[in-house]
Amino acid sequence: MQNHYKKVLIISDNARIVSEIARINQNKIGEAVHFEYAISPFSDIDHFDSPLLGQVKVLDLCNQTVLTKIIESHDLVASVHSKQIFPPLLLHNLNCINLHPGYNPINRGWYPQVFAIINDLVIGATLHEIDEELDHGSIIDRVKVPKYAHDTSFSLYNRVIEAEISLWEKNISNILCAKYKSFVPEGKGRLYLKKDFNSLLELDLAEEITMQQAIDRLRALTFKGYQNAYFLNKEGEKVFVEITLSPDK
């Protein structure tokens, strides 16, 4: 099959997943397609120092000149854990796709694994076309990921990342040849914003909840390298809390 798209820009703020995708692109597609990689101004470019990625650019999608250059020099743009929202000018002039760490339309938006744990929702990964709503466009492919009682946000997220990488490897050839069939999501689902996550962080020591709810909230907020859940001590200082869980083997 001949590639329909030959100049592809991948915008990401996650060094781990974009490096894996670059490896897949090199091994599966080779030089038949020219891939370029970019990050947002919110990321440290030093984290993206990899021969697979080549010269990584910092692109601000709020800059009109930057958008014009992207449109002139590419025919497909992919968001892979990008912190930037793709503006209408980009969406109306280029085909854009997104790799999302959630099972659309169930958990759209920020930190899907957090809300999947707290609200006992299905979790997975979705590859979809981008429209003007967040994580809303027609679905190219998606897969569910198992969720266990001993999962923290960190362990579940890592499982989702692996599913995303597999989705990319499975679908990228058909996407580049424009041979895939997308479908409209079953409904709107639920969109979770950064403020929804932030509202979970402070623990009210006087709140009456079940032990299940308490454990679920703590494991949903436990992520290696980050201090999320906290309560205030008598002096008004934050005391951070995380949880460790291990199944009986």
Catalytic residues: 100
**Bridge-based pairing state of the strands 139-145 and 123-129:** antiparallel
C-alpha dihedral, 198 to 155 to 25 to 83, nearest 10°: 10
What's the CA gap between 77 and 69, in Å, rounded?
A: 12
Q: How far is CA 134 from the centre of its chain?
A: 12
- The pair phi, psi for residue 14, each rounded to 5°, is -125, 105
DSSP classification of residue 41: T
Q: Which helix (H) or strand (E) element contains residue 88?
A: helix 88-93
